[in-house]
Amino acid sequence: MPVHSFLKGVTISMRIASLFVLLLLNQLIAAQDRHSARSMVITQYGIVATSHVQASQAGAGILAKGGSAVDAAIAANAVLGVTEPMMNGIGGDLFAIYWDAKTNKLYGLNSSGWAPQGLTIEHLKAKGAEHMPAATIDSVTVPGAVAGWNALHGRFGKLPWRDLLQPAIFFAEQGYPVPELIHNFWGVAPAAFANDAEGRRVYLPNGKVPAVGEVFRNPDLANTLRAIAQQGADAYYKGDIARAILSTSKSLDGTMSAEDLAQFTPEWVQPISTTYRDWTVYELPPNGQGMAALEMLNIMEASAASPEGPLSLPELHKKIEAMKLAYADLDHYNGDPRFAKIPLKGMLSKEYGKQRAQQIDVSRANCEVGYGTPHSDTTYLTVVDRDGNIVSLIQSNYESFGSGITVRGMGFVLQDRGALFSLDPSSPNALAPRKRPFHTIIPAFMERGDQHIGFGIMGGANQPLAHAQFVSNIADYGMNIQEALENARFTVHPQRGCNIVIESRVEPETLKKLLAMGHKLSIEKEYSTSMGRGNVVLHDSKTGMNYGASDARADGSAEPEPPQYPK
């Protein structure tokens, strides 16, 4: 064979080989491409997903000791009250959904506190109030968190009560390094405690917001938690902690009484639901805003999902408009069902969802949405244990550092959830003694066949529409729970109307077209905390496998239960 022919053959072979290597490399790169920042946690053991790593680890440690999903949730929530004090704590309220894997039964718990007996519309108007005050003693309602823990533990707990609070006591006493996002949230503390010397003493050591990585300690809270661990919930509602709450309230001319605290009990409630495509989605009934998430899903289901994807122009426009319709109904009808008649059945009917959907103009934004006529700052965590039982739990002070009032000597702030009452006597949410206010915090659950998912996405008014977007990501677009949680979202703007907050990961051309349709967009960073911080667990009852997801918008993690290694 001539040399030139041989060399030509070698050259061709090398080109073919190079092309093969290039194709293989492209396939490997493509196989590793994805739209989420994190992988799911997958294990045959339990998982605890929270917005703070130490809280997730604490809950996972409780599971490893033989604790139930509820035990782990209480432990994790107690740690969050220490490590995210502006978001939640024993001065706030709590809601939970529990799914029993063995019986396939759902339980709902509403542990939101009521207004003091002496807090009335007349009382506030006599003080010159024209609307409900925020961040004052008159916005403080009875905190329900500890009573909620007690109710959950009494029904579904395994480990002794005292064991569950030990991780939180440790972090309060020994301290923990402040993470990045929590440091940013802490920045409101100087303003929040401008009129509260006790709050400045506890939460602004050396007069400053703790730096990232600085170890923060709260020995007063450690002592408070130790009393609850030793004496149970009575220590909070009838003992020394109750007396400290009452003394703090009295010093500020508050109306809280010993009876308001001692007589409070959580309420076991039946979750409400709707179907979306082939999934069943559950929320808790009013006084929470879960019904808005379900109504929004019904409105969205009236038309097919856009094949262009969840961040396409038609899909985003439809969801934004569906949100406005559902929120208009929520604002008009929501309240405490023990005091007001709420047309829940009508609001959640598929026919009503179709009627509301007909009001969506596919070519333009509606900036003035009215309510229809149907017929008749927060933390979220979720846990699945090795048996598949799921807890979906949310707990909050409402605004950052709640009322800005720190219980003297106890190391925790009181919530200002009462700020959501109305002073309009005709409103279903009108202030009244022993009434629970409109509540923003909502845990959720969804299932289809063998797939059971506990999920929640915190953040005030953001929550119903964030839930609906999450459900759609799974039901319409086949995302796994981590992808569905991280996918770019929009949320409600404080000014409402056509004002929308949206993440910058949405394509610029789509944003431009939304603006042209009349939407007014505030564009935030790629993973904005404005969209809320979520956590998710999934149990597959066919395989017995558990999956966990934690939001890249938070400092937290989904931590698997460590197995018992052979000695």
| Res. 373: pLDDT tops 90 | no
Predicted local distance difference test score (pLDDT) of residue 11: 55
| Res. 14: pLDDT tops 60 | no
**Integer Cα distance of 72 and 298 in angstroms:** 34
The residue to which tokens 């009129």 are assigned: 195
Q: What is the pTM of this model?
A: 0.92
The residue to which tokens 């993440």 are assigned: 503
Predicted local distance difference test score (pLDDT) of residue 28: 55
Which residues does residue 184 pair with via DSSP β-bridges, in sequence order?
Answer: none
Sort 512 into a burial class: Cβ within 10 Å, 0-12 / 13-18 / 19+. exposed
**Integer Cα distance of 267 and 410 in angstroms:** 27
Locate the domains of the chain by residue range. Answer: 43-268+379-420
Predicted local distance difference test score (pLDDT) of residue 567: 80
> Catalytic residues, which ones?
378
Predicted local distance difference test score (pLDDT) of residue 30: 56
Return the DSSP state at 417: G
Predicted local distance difference test score (pLDDT) of residue 37: 81
CB 131 within 8 A of CB 218: no
Predicted local distance difference test score (pLDDT) of residue 10: 46
CB 457 within 8 A of CB 380: yes
Average pLDDT over residues 100-125: 97
Q: Could you tell me how far CA 27 lies from the centroid of its own chain?
A: 38
| Res. 205: pLDDT tops 70 | yes
For the stretch 431-447, pLDDT in tens is: 999 999 999 999 999 99
**Integer Cα distance of 345 and 376 in angstroms:** 6
Instruction: Name the token pair of 414.
Output: 């009181």
CA distances, 397 to each of 81, 89, 138, 169, 400 (Å): 10, 7, 15, 20, 7
Strands 520-524 and 105-111: unpaired
Average pLDDT over residues 498-505: 94
Largest CA distance in the chain: 109
For the stretch 412-471, pLDDT in tens is: 999 999 999 999 999 999 999 999 999 999 999 999 999 999 999 998 889 999 999 999
Helix (H) or strand (E) holding 269: strand 267-269
Predicted local distance difference test score (pLDDT) of residue 6: 44
Count Cβ atoms below 10 Å from residue 103 Cβ, excluding itself.
Answer: 7
**501: three-class secondary structure by DSSP:** strand
Predicted local distance difference test score (pLDDT) of residue 376: 47
Predicted local distance difference test score (pLDDT) of residue 38: 85
Predicted local distance difference test score (pLDDT) of residue 7: 43
* Range with lowest mean pLDDT among 15-19, 84-88, 302-306, 377-381: 15-19
Helix (H) or strand (E) holding 523: strand 520-524
Predicted local distance difference test score (pLDDT) of residue 370: 86
Predicted local distance difference test score (pLDDT) of residue 133: 92
∠ CA 163-167-172, nearest 5°, is 130
| Res. 378: pLDDT tops 80 | no
Mean of all residue pLDDT scores within the chain: 93
* Short-list 266, 77, 265, CA closest to 164: 77
For the stretch 335-345, pLDDT in tens is: 999 998 899 99
CA distances, 309 to each of 40, 148, 297, 306, 477 (Å): 22, 40, 17, 6, 7
**Integer Cα distance of 432 and 332 in angstroms:** 18
Alpha helices by DSSP H, listed for 213-268, are 219-231, 234-237, 240-251, 258-262
Which residues does residue 444 pair with via DSSP β-bridges, in sequence order?
Answer: 455
* Short-list 441, 468, 294, 439, CA closest to 380: 441
| Res. 1: pLDDT tops 80 | no
For the stretch 508-536, pLDDT in tens is: 999 999 999 999 999 999 999 999 999 99
Average pLDDT over residues 157-183: 97
Q: Who has greater pLDDT, 148 or 4?
A: 148
The residue to which tokens 């993690």 are assigned: 557
Predicted local distance difference test score (pLDDT) of residue 357: 95
For the stretch 476-485, pLDDT in tens is: 999 999 999 9
The residue to which tokens 């967009």 are assigned: 521
Predicted local distance difference test score (pLDDT) of residue 328: 92
| Res. 166: pLDDT tops 60 | yes
The dihedral region occupied by 385, where left means phi > 0, alpha psi between -120 and 50, and beta the remainder, is beta
Average pLDDT over residues 132-154: 96
Rounded to 10°, the helix 166-174/219-231 angle is 160
Predicted local distance difference test score (pLDDT) of residue 379: 86
End-to-end CA distance of the chain: 69
296 Cβ neighbours under 8 A, 6+ residues apart: 319, 322, 323, 325, 326, 464, 465, 468
**Integer Cα distance of 241 and 374 in angstroms:** 45
Sign of the torsion angle spanned by Cα atoms 400, 221, 167, 288: negative
Average pLDDT over residues 485-513: 94
| Res. 13: pLDDT tops 70 | no
CA distances, 112 to each of 200, 286, 302, 413 (Å): 27, 11, 34, 16
| Res. 181: pLDDT tops 70 | yes
CB 91 within 8 A of CB 397: yes
Predicted local distance difference test score (pLDDT) of residue 179: 95
Which residues does residue 539 pair with via DSSP β-bridges, in sequence order?
Answer: 452, 546
CA distances, 246 to each of 113, 115, 252, 287, 433 (Å): 15, 14, 10, 26, 17
| Res. 32: pLDDT tops 70 | no
